[in-house]
Chain A
Amino acid sequence: MDVTVTVNGHTYERDVEPRKLLIHFLRDDLDLTGSHVGCDTGNCGACSVIVNGTLLKSCMMLAVQANGATIETVEGLSADGQLTALQQAFHEHHALQCGYCTPGMLMSATALLRENPRPSEDEIKKALQGNICRCTGYWNIVEAVKAVAE
Protein backbone atom coordinates (compact mmCIF):
# COMPACT_ATOMS: atom_id res chain seq x y z
CA MET A 1 0.00 0.00 0.00
CA ASP A 2 1.14 3.54 -0.69
CA VAL A 3 2.00 5.41 2.46
CA THR A 4 2.92 9.08 2.70
CA VAL A 5 4.25 10.41 5.98
CA THR A 6 6.04 13.53 7.10
CA VAL A 7 8.78 12.65 9.54
CA ASN A 8 10.69 15.47 11.24
CA GLY A 9 9.66 17.79 8.42
CA HIS A 10 10.61 15.50 5.50
CA THR A 11 7.90 13.90 3.41
CA TYR A 12 8.41 10.27 2.41
CA GLU A 13 6.33 8.17 0.08
CA ARG A 14 6.78 4.41 0.21
CA ASP A 15 5.07 1.20 -0.77
CA VAL A 16 4.50 -0.65 2.51
CA GLU A 17 3.12 -4.08 3.39
CA PRO A 18 0.21 -3.71 5.87
CA ARG A 19 1.90 -6.16 8.24
CA LYS A 20 4.86 -3.85 8.81
CA LEU A 21 4.96 -2.14 12.21
CA LEU A 22 5.59 1.60 12.28
CA ILE A 23 8.87 1.11 14.17
CA HIS A 24 10.26 -1.13 11.42
CA PHE A 25 9.08 1.27 8.74
CA LEU A 26 10.95 4.10 10.47
CA ARG A 27 14.09 2.09 11.10
CA ASP A 28 14.35 -0.16 8.05
CA ASP A 29 12.56 1.74 5.27
CA LEU A 30 13.40 5.32 6.25
CA ASP A 31 16.74 4.53 7.93
CA LEU A 32 15.70 6.50 11.00
CA THR A 33 17.33 4.22 13.54
CA GLY A 34 17.10 6.59 16.50
CA SER A 35 13.91 4.96 17.75
CA HIS A 36 14.75 1.60 19.29
CA VAL A 37 13.07 -1.76 19.67
CA GLY A 38 13.45 -2.92 23.26
CA CYS A 39 10.67 -5.39 23.93
CA ASP A 40 8.40 -5.47 20.89
CA THR A 41 5.45 -5.97 23.25
CA GLY A 42 4.44 -2.42 24.11
CA ASN A 43 6.07 -2.50 27.51
CA CYS A 44 9.41 -0.70 27.34
CA GLY A 45 8.72 2.53 25.44
CA ALA A 46 12.08 2.58 23.58
CA CYS A 47 10.10 2.92 20.33
CA SER A 48 8.05 5.94 21.50
CA VAL A 49 7.39 8.57 18.84
CA ILE A 50 4.91 11.40 18.46
CA VAL A 51 2.29 10.90 15.72
CA ASN A 52 0.00 13.84 14.91
CA GLY A 53 0.89 15.31 18.30
CA THR A 54 0.16 12.08 20.21
CA LEU A 55 2.84 10.11 22.03
CA LEU A 56 2.63 6.41 21.23
CA LYS A 57 4.67 3.24 20.99
CA SER A 58 5.53 2.64 17.37
CA CYS A 59 5.79 -1.14 17.84
CA MET A 60 2.07 -1.15 18.62
CA MET A 61 0.86 0.41 15.39
CA LEU A 62 1.03 -0.52 11.71
CA ALA A 63 2.93 1.74 9.36
CA VAL A 64 -0.11 1.95 7.05
CA GLN A 65 -2.09 3.43 9.94
CA ALA A 66 0.27 6.40 9.87
CA ASN A 67 -0.60 7.25 6.28
CA GLY A 68 -0.92 11.04 6.02
CA ALA A 69 0.49 11.58 9.49
CA THR A 70 3.08 13.97 10.81
CA ILE A 71 5.61 12.03 12.86
CA GLU A 72 8.28 13.27 15.26
CA THR A 73 11.18 11.03 16.24
CA VAL A 74 14.28 11.62 18.34
CA GLU A 75 16.25 12.60 15.23
CA GLY A 76 13.99 15.66 14.83
CA LEU A 77 14.74 17.10 18.27
CA SER A 78 18.09 18.56 17.34
CA ALA A 79 17.51 18.78 13.60
CA ASP A 80 19.44 22.06 13.45
CA GLY A 81 22.43 20.53 15.23
CA GLN A 82 21.53 22.27 18.47
CA LEU A 83 20.50 20.06 21.41
CA THR A 84 17.12 20.92 22.89
CA ALA A 85 17.06 22.11 26.50
CA LEU A 86 15.83 18.65 27.45
CA GLN A 87 18.64 16.86 25.62
CA GLN A 88 21.16 19.24 27.18
CA ALA A 89 19.70 18.50 30.61
CA PHE A 90 20.00 14.74 29.99
CA HIS A 91 23.65 15.36 29.15
CA GLU A 92 24.31 17.50 32.20
CA HIS A 93 22.45 15.30 34.68
CA HIS A 94 23.95 12.06 33.44
CA ALA A 95 20.45 10.83 32.60
CA LEU A 96 21.71 8.00 30.44
CA GLN A 97 24.17 5.19 30.69
CA CYS A 98 23.87 2.75 27.80
CA GLY A 99 21.43 5.12 26.10
CA TYR A 100 19.13 2.44 24.77
CA CYS A 101 16.03 3.88 26.42
CA THR A 102 17.00 7.49 25.81
CA PRO A 103 15.23 8.15 22.48
CA GLY A 104 11.95 6.98 24.01
CA MET A 105 12.57 8.86 27.26
CA LEU A 106 13.25 12.05 25.33
CA MET A 107 10.07 11.72 23.26
CA SER A 108 7.92 11.00 26.33
CA ALA A 109 9.44 13.90 28.25
CA THR A 110 9.08 16.17 25.20
CA ALA A 111 5.38 15.28 24.96
CA LEU A 112 4.96 15.92 28.70
CA LEU A 113 6.69 19.33 28.66
CA ARG A 114 4.60 20.44 25.69
CA GLU A 115 1.38 19.68 27.51
CA ASN A 116 2.58 20.69 30.94
CA PRO A 117 5.69 22.91 30.94
CA ARG A 118 5.89 22.92 34.76
CA PRO A 119 5.25 19.32 35.81
CA SER A 120 5.67 18.26 39.43
CA GLU A 121 8.00 15.38 40.26
CA ASP A 122 5.00 13.06 40.52
CA GLU A 123 3.72 14.20 37.15
CA ILE A 124 7.14 13.53 35.61
CA LYS A 125 7.23 10.04 37.07
CA LYS A 126 3.71 9.31 35.87
CA ALA A 127 4.54 10.59 32.39
CA LEU A 128 7.59 8.34 32.13
CA GLN A 129 5.84 5.23 33.41
CA GLY A 130 5.73 3.73 29.93
CA ASN A 131 9.50 3.99 29.51
CA ILE A 132 11.73 1.40 31.08
CA CYS A 133 15.41 2.02 31.81
CA ARG A 134 17.55 -0.88 32.94
CA CYS A 135 20.60 1.26 33.78
CA THR A 136 20.00 4.55 35.53
CA GLY A 137 17.52 3.77 38.27
CA TYR A 138 15.51 6.68 36.82
CA TRP A 139 16.76 9.20 39.39
CA ASN A 140 18.87 11.26 37.01
CA ILE A 141 16.25 11.08 34.27
CA VAL A 142 13.70 12.64 36.59
CA GLU A 143 16.32 15.20 37.71
CA ALA A 144 16.97 16.15 34.07
CA VAL A 145 13.30 16.67 33.28
CA LYS A 146 12.89 18.63 36.53
CA ALA A 147 15.77 20.87 35.54
CA VAL A 148 14.01 21.81 32.28
CA ALA A 149 10.72 22.29 34.07
CA GLU A 150 12.25 24.77 36.52
Chain B
Amino acid sequence: MLLREVEYAKPASVAEALGLLAENDGARALAGGQTLINVMKARAASPDALVDLNGLDELKGIELAADGTLTIGAMTTYSELMASAEAKARPILGEVCATIADVQVRNRGTLGGNVCSNDPTNHLPPLMCAIGARMTIVGQAGEREVPAEEFFLGVYMTAVGPGELLTRIAIPAGKHDGFAAVTLGADGTCICNAAASVNGSVRVAIGCVDAVPVVITAGSPDEVAAAVRAADLDPPSDVHASAEYRRHLAEVLATRAAKEAAAR
Protein backbone atom coordinates (compact mmCIF):
# COMPACT_ATOMS: atom_id res chain seq x y z
CA MET B 1 0.00 0.00 0.00
CA LEU B 2 1.24 3.44 -0.85
CA LEU B 3 0.96 5.67 2.19
CA ARG B 4 -0.13 9.26 1.95
CA GLU B 5 2.84 11.57 1.46
CA VAL B 6 4.70 12.06 4.69
CA GLU B 7 7.86 13.76 5.86
CA TYR B 8 10.40 11.79 7.83
CA ALA B 9 13.03 12.75 10.36
CA LYS B 10 15.27 10.65 12.56
CA PRO B 11 16.38 12.84 15.48
CA ALA B 12 19.54 12.06 17.45
CA SER B 13 18.27 13.19 20.85
CA VAL B 14 15.00 13.37 22.79
CA ALA B 15 15.36 17.17 22.87
CA GLU B 16 15.57 17.24 19.08
CA ALA B 17 12.58 14.89 18.80
CA LEU B 18 10.50 17.13 21.08
CA GLY B 19 11.50 20.13 18.95
CA LEU B 20 10.35 18.37 15.78
CA LEU B 21 7.04 17.39 17.37
CA ALA B 22 6.46 20.92 18.69
CA GLU B 23 7.26 22.46 15.33
CA ASN B 24 4.55 20.56 13.48
CA ASP B 25 1.05 19.80 14.82
CA GLY B 26 0.74 17.01 12.26
CA ALA B 27 3.92 15.22 13.36
CA ARG B 28 3.69 11.86 15.07
CA ALA B 29 6.26 9.71 16.85
CA LEU B 30 7.19 6.47 15.07
CA ALA B 31 8.32 3.65 17.37
CA GLY B 32 8.18 0.04 16.14
CA GLY B 33 5.59 0.96 13.52
CA GLN B 34 3.71 -2.30 14.16
CA THR B 35 0.52 -0.34 14.78
CA LEU B 36 1.20 3.06 13.25
CA ILE B 37 2.23 1.85 9.77
CA ASN B 38 -1.00 -0.17 9.53
CA VAL B 39 -3.03 2.79 10.76
CA MET B 40 -1.41 4.91 8.04
CA LYS B 41 -2.12 2.27 5.36
CA ALA B 42 -5.78 2.27 6.37
CA ARG B 43 -5.71 6.10 6.37
CA ALA B 44 -7.19 5.93 9.88
CA ALA B 45 -4.49 8.51 10.58
CA SER B 46 -2.32 10.36 8.09
CA PRO B 47 0.37 12.26 9.93
CA ASP B 48 2.17 14.99 7.96
CA ALA B 49 5.50 13.97 9.43
CA LEU B 50 7.00 11.02 11.24
CA VAL B 51 9.58 11.50 13.97
CA ASP B 52 11.42 8.19 14.12
CA LEU B 53 12.46 7.33 17.68
CA ASN B 54 14.64 4.40 16.61
CA GLY B 55 17.88 6.37 16.84
CA LEU B 56 17.35 7.45 20.44
CA ASP B 57 19.58 5.51 22.84
CA GLU B 58 18.08 7.61 25.67
CA LEU B 59 14.85 5.64 25.19
CA LYS B 60 16.55 2.24 25.21
CA GLY B 61 17.80 0.03 27.98
CA ILE B 62 16.54 -1.78 31.05
CA GLU B 63 17.89 -0.97 34.52
CA LEU B 64 17.36 -2.80 37.77
CA ALA B 65 17.77 -0.65 40.89
CA ALA B 66 18.89 -1.94 44.30
CA ASP B 67 15.30 -1.82 45.61
CA GLY B 68 14.15 -4.04 42.71
CA THR B 69 12.57 -1.26 40.65
CA LEU B 70 12.88 -1.90 36.93
CA THR B 71 13.20 1.09 34.62
CA ILE B 72 12.48 0.21 31.02
CA GLY B 73 13.13 2.58 28.13
CA ALA B 74 10.06 3.24 25.97
CA MET B 75 11.87 2.03 22.83
CA THR B 76 12.67 -1.40 24.29
CA THR B 77 11.29 -4.07 21.96
CA TYR B 78 9.40 -7.11 23.24
CA SER B 79 12.29 -9.32 22.07
CA GLU B 80 14.85 -7.19 23.93
CA LEU B 81 12.77 -7.38 27.08
CA MET B 82 12.42 -11.17 26.77
CA ALA B 83 16.20 -11.51 26.43
CA SER B 84 17.03 -9.15 29.32
CA ALA B 85 18.47 -10.65 32.51
CA GLU B 86 17.36 -7.57 34.49
CA ALA B 87 13.75 -7.87 33.32
CA LYS B 88 13.57 -11.34 34.94
CA ALA B 89 13.18 -9.42 38.20
CA ARG B 90 9.49 -9.16 37.26
CA PRO B 91 9.02 -12.42 35.32
CA ILE B 92 5.46 -11.71 34.14
CA LEU B 93 6.79 -8.99 31.80
CA GLY B 94 8.78 -11.37 29.62
CA GLU B 95 6.12 -14.05 29.85
CA VAL B 96 3.42 -11.76 28.50
CA CYS B 97 5.65 -10.21 25.83
CA ALA B 98 6.40 -13.73 24.55
CA THR B 99 2.70 -14.16 23.74
CA ILE B 100 2.32 -10.99 21.67
CA ALA B 101 1.78 -11.82 17.99
CA ASP B 102 4.92 -13.40 16.47
CA VAL B 103 8.71 -13.14 16.27
CA GLN B 104 8.70 -10.44 13.59
CA VAL B 105 6.26 -8.21 15.48
CA ARG B 106 8.11 -8.81 18.75
CA ASN B 107 11.41 -7.86 17.12
CA ARG B 108 10.04 -4.42 16.14
CA GLY B 109 7.17 -3.59 18.51
CA THR B 110 8.10 -1.59 21.61
CA LEU B 111 6.74 -1.42 25.15
CA GLY B 112 6.29 2.33 24.73
CA GLY B 113 4.36 1.90 21.49
CA ASN B 114 2.14 -0.77 23.01
CA VAL B 115 1.00 1.43 25.88
CA CYS B 116 0.90 4.67 23.83
CA SER B 117 -1.31 3.11 21.15
CA ASN B 118 -3.65 1.91 23.95
CA ASP B 119 -5.61 -0.39 21.70
CA PRO B 120 -8.14 -1.93 24.12
CA THR B 121 -7.13 -5.41 22.92
CA ASN B 122 -3.40 -4.89 23.57
CA HIS B 123 -1.67 -7.04 26.15
CA LEU B 124 0.32 -4.45 28.05
CA PRO B 125 -2.18 -1.79 29.23
CA PRO B 126 -3.91 -4.17 31.71
CA LEU B 127 -0.57 -5.65 32.75
CA MET B 128 0.86 -2.20 33.50
CA CYS B 129 -2.21 -1.32 35.59
CA ALA B 130 -2.08 -4.56 37.56
CA ILE B 131 1.61 -4.37 38.47
CA GLY B 132 1.62 -0.68 39.40
CA ALA B 133 3.79 0.70 36.58
CA ARG B 134 4.60 4.41 36.44
CA MET B 135 5.09 6.20 33.13
CA THR B 136 7.46 9.11 32.62
CA ILE B 137 6.29 11.64 30.05
CA VAL B 138 8.47 14.42 28.75
CA GLY B 139 7.47 17.57 26.84
CA GLN B 140 8.80 21.04 26.17
CA ALA B 141 7.57 22.00 29.67
CA GLY B 142 9.54 19.25 31.41
CA GLU B 143 9.00 15.80 32.81
CA ARG B 144 6.21 14.22 34.85
CA GLU B 145 5.37 10.78 36.16
CA VAL B 146 1.90 9.27 35.77
CA PRO B 147 0.69 6.01 37.35
CA ALA B 148 -0.59 3.47 34.82
CA GLU B 149 -4.14 3.83 36.10
CA GLU B 150 -4.15 7.51 35.10
CA PHE B 151 -2.14 6.97 31.92
CA PHE B 152 -4.83 5.23 29.86
CA LEU B 153 -7.56 7.74 29.04
CA GLY B 154 -9.61 6.27 26.20
CA VAL B 155 -9.45 4.13 23.08
CA TYR B 156 -6.10 5.06 21.46
CA MET B 157 -5.76 7.90 23.99
CA THR B 158 -3.28 8.29 26.80
CA ALA B 159 -1.86 10.95 29.11
CA VAL B 160 0.86 11.57 26.50
CA GLY B 161 -0.30 14.89 25.03
CA PRO B 162 0.50 16.44 21.66
CA GLY B 163 4.19 17.16 21.36
CA GLU B 164 5.06 14.86 24.25
CA LEU B 165 6.89 11.55 24.47
CA LEU B 166 6.79 8.62 26.83
CA THR B 167 10.41 8.07 27.84
CA ARG B 168 10.37 5.18 30.31
CA ILE B 169 8.27 2.90 32.43
CA ALA B 170 9.13 2.16 36.06
CA ILE B 171 7.94 -1.09 37.57
CA PRO B 172 8.21 -1.97 41.25
CA ALA B 173 9.64 -5.29 42.44
CA GLY B 174 7.28 -8.26 42.69
CA LYS B 175 6.62 -11.73 41.44
CA HIS B 176 3.12 -12.70 42.51
CA ASP B 177 1.64 -11.88 39.11
CA GLY B 178 -0.60 -13.67 36.64
CA PHE B 179 -2.02 -13.13 33.16
CA ALA B 180 -4.83 -14.92 31.38
CA ALA B 181 -6.38 -14.32 27.99
CA VAL B 182 -8.69 -15.85 25.42
CA THR B 183 -7.19 -15.06 22.04
CA LEU B 184 -7.89 -15.52 18.33
CA GLY B 185 -5.59 -18.48 17.79
CA ALA B 186 -2.40 -19.08 19.77
CA ASP B 187 -0.76 -15.76 20.66
CA GLY B 188 -3.41 -13.91 18.67
CA THR B 189 -5.39 -10.77 19.37
CA CYS B 190 -7.13 -10.82 22.74
CA ILE B 191 -10.89 -11.29 22.90
CA CYS B 192 -10.60 -10.65 26.61
CA ASN B 193 -7.63 -10.57 28.94
CA ALA B 194 -6.80 -10.02 32.59
CA ALA B 195 -3.62 -9.31 34.52
CA ALA B 196 -3.38 -9.79 38.26
CA SER B 197 -0.96 -9.01 41.02
CA VAL B 198 -1.17 -10.19 44.62
CA ASN B 199 0.38 -8.07 47.31
CA GLY B 200 -1.70 -8.57 50.42
CA SER B 201 -4.90 -7.98 48.46
CA VAL B 202 -5.51 -8.91 44.82
CA ARG B 203 -5.39 -6.30 42.07
CA VAL B 204 -6.76 -7.30 38.68
CA ALA B 205 -6.90 -5.24 35.49
CA ILE B 206 -9.22 -6.48 32.75
CA GLY B 207 -8.68 -5.62 29.09
CA CYS B 208 -11.01 -5.62 26.04
CA VAL B 209 -14.10 -4.81 28.11
CA ASP B 210 -13.91 -1.02 28.10
CA ALA B 211 -11.94 1.85 26.54
CA VAL B 212 -9.29 1.49 29.24
CA PRO B 213 -8.32 -1.40 31.51
CA VAL B 214 -10.83 -1.91 34.32
CA VAL B 215 -9.06 -2.25 37.67
CA ILE B 216 -10.70 -4.35 40.35
CA THR B 217 -9.45 -5.17 43.83
CA ALA B 218 -10.46 -8.07 46.03
CA GLY B 219 -9.37 -9.59 49.32
CA SER B 220 -8.48 -12.97 47.81
CA PRO B 221 -8.60 -14.78 44.45
CA ASP B 222 -11.85 -16.46 45.51
CA GLU B 223 -13.53 -13.09 45.85
CA VAL B 224 -12.46 -11.85 42.39
CA ALA B 225 -15.42 -13.27 40.43
CA ALA B 226 -17.94 -11.52 42.69
CA ALA B 227 -15.96 -8.27 42.44
CA VAL B 228 -16.00 -8.48 38.63
CA ARG B 229 -19.74 -9.12 38.69
CA ALA B 230 -20.25 -6.14 40.99
CA ALA B 231 -18.33 -3.93 38.55
CA ASP B 232 -21.25 -4.31 36.13
CA LEU B 233 -19.08 -4.34 33.02
CA ASP B 234 -20.53 -3.13 29.74
CA PRO B 235 -18.17 -4.66 27.17
CA PRO B 236 -18.55 -4.28 23.40
CA SER B 237 -20.09 -6.92 21.14
CA ASP B 238 -18.29 -7.81 17.92
CA VAL B 239 -17.80 -10.70 15.50
CA HIS B 240 -15.56 -12.50 17.99
CA ALA B 241 -17.68 -12.30 21.12
CA SER B 242 -21.00 -10.96 22.33
CA ALA B 243 -21.03 -8.56 25.25
CA GLU B 244 -22.50 -11.29 27.40
CA TYR B 245 -19.75 -13.76 26.53
CA ARG B 246 -17.06 -11.12 27.17
CA ARG B 247 -18.60 -10.40 30.56
CA HIS B 248 -18.38 -14.13 31.32
CA LEU B 249 -14.77 -14.27 30.09
CA ALA B 250 -13.86 -11.27 32.24
CA GLU B 251 -14.96 -13.14 35.35
CA VAL B 252 -13.24 -16.38 34.39
CA LEU B 253 -9.99 -14.78 33.23
CA ALA B 254 -9.74 -12.38 36.18
CA THR B 255 -10.10 -15.34 38.55
CA ARG B 256 -7.61 -17.41 36.57
CA ALA B 257 -5.02 -14.61 36.56
CA ALA B 258 -5.53 -13.98 40.28
CA LYS B 259 -5.11 -17.67 41.15
CA GLU B 260 -1.98 -17.88 39.04
CA ALA B 261 -0.61 -14.79 40.77
CA ALA B 262 -1.37 -16.12 44.24
CA ALA B 263 0.21 -19.51 43.49
CA ARG B 264 3.66 -18.09 42.64
On A, residues with C-beta under 8 Å from B are 1, 17-21, 24, 40-42, 45, 48, 54-57, 59-62, 64-65, 108, 111-112, 126-127, 129-131
Contacting residues, chain B, for A54 (C-beta < 8 A): 107-108
With contacts A40-B41, A41-B41, A60-B38 taken as known, whether A130 is within 8 angstroms of B8 at the C-beta atoms is no
Which chain B residue lies CB-closest to A108? Answer: B103
| A129–B187 touching, CB < 8 Å | yes
Question: Number of A-B pairs whose CB atoms are under 8 Å?
Answer: 77
Contacting residues, chain B, for A111 (C-beta < 8 A): 103
| B34–A60 touching, CB < 8 Å | yes
Please report the C-alpha to C-alpha distance between residue A112 and residue B104 in the assembled complex, in whole angstroms. Answer: 11
Please report the C-alpha to C-alpha distance between residue A124 and residue B101 in the assembled complex, in whole angstroms. Answer: 15
On B, residues with C-beta under 8 Å from A are 1-8, 10, 33-34, 37-38, 41, 50, 52, 54, 101-105, 107-108, 186-187
Extra A-B contacts (7), CB below 8 Å, given A127-B103, A130-B102, A131-B102:
A18-B50, A20-B3, A59-B37, A60-B105, A60-B108, A65-B33, A108-B104
| A61–B8 touching, CB < 8 Å | no
Contacting residues, chain A, for B103 (C-beta < 8 A): 55, 108, 111-112, 126-127, 129-130
Contacting residues, chain B, for A40 (C-beta < 8 A): 1, 41
| A56–B6 touching, CB < 8 Å | no
Interface centre among A42, A54, A130 (most CB of B within 10 A): A42
Please report the C-alpha to C-alpha distance between residue A24 and residue B8 in the assembled complex, in whole angstroms. Answer: 17
* Minimum distance in angstroms from A128 CB to a CB of chain B: 8
14 contacts between A and B (CB under 8 A): A18-B6, A19-B2, A19-B6, A20-B2, A42-B104, A42-B105, A45-B102, A55-B103, A56-B108, A57-B105, A60-B105, A62-B50, A129-B102, A129-B103
Which chain A residue lies CB-closest to B77? Answer: A54
Contacting residues, chain A, for B41 (C-beta < 8 A): 40-41
Which chain B residue lies CB-closest to A17? Answer: B5
Which chain B residue lies CB-closest to A64? Answer: B8
Interface centre among A57, A111, A126 (most CB of B within 10 A): A57
Please report the C-alpha to C-alpha distance between residue A53 and residue B34 in the assembled complex, in whole angstroms. Answer: 18
* Minimum distance in angstroms from A92 CB to a CB of chain B: 25
Which chain B residue lies CB-closest to A112? Answer: B103
| A48–B104 touching, CB < 8 Å | yes
* Minimum distance in angstroms from A65 CB to a CB of chain B: 6
Which of A17, A62, A130 makes the CB contact (< 8 A) with B101?
A130
* Minimum distance in angstroms from B12 CB to a CB of chain A: 14
Please report the C-alpha to C-alpha distance between residue A130 and residue B102 in the assembled complex, in whole angstroms. Answer: 5
* Minimum distance in angstroms from A63 CB to a CB of chain B: 10
| B107–A42 touching, CB < 8 Å | no
Which of A17, A19, A42, A129 makes the CB contact (< 8 A) with B38?
A42
Contacting residues, chain B, for A1 (C-beta < 8 A): 8
Interface centre among A45, A48, A65 (most CB of B within 10 A): A65
Which of B1, B105, B186 makes the CB contact (< 8 A) with A21?
B1
Which of A21, A42, A65, A129 makes the CB contact (< 8 A) with B3?
A21
| A19–B52 touching, CB < 8 Å | no
* Minimum distance in angstroms from B201 CB to a CB of chain A: 35
| B37–A21 touching, CB < 8 Å | yes
Which of B5, B104, B186 makes the CB contact (< 8 A) with A19?
B5
* Minimum distance in angstroms from A126 CB to a CB of chain B: 8
Contacting residues, chain A, for B5 (C-beta < 8 A): 17, 19
Which of A21, A24, A56, A64 makes the CB contact (< 8 A) with B104?
A56
* Minimum distance in angstroms from A42 CB to a CB of chain B: 6
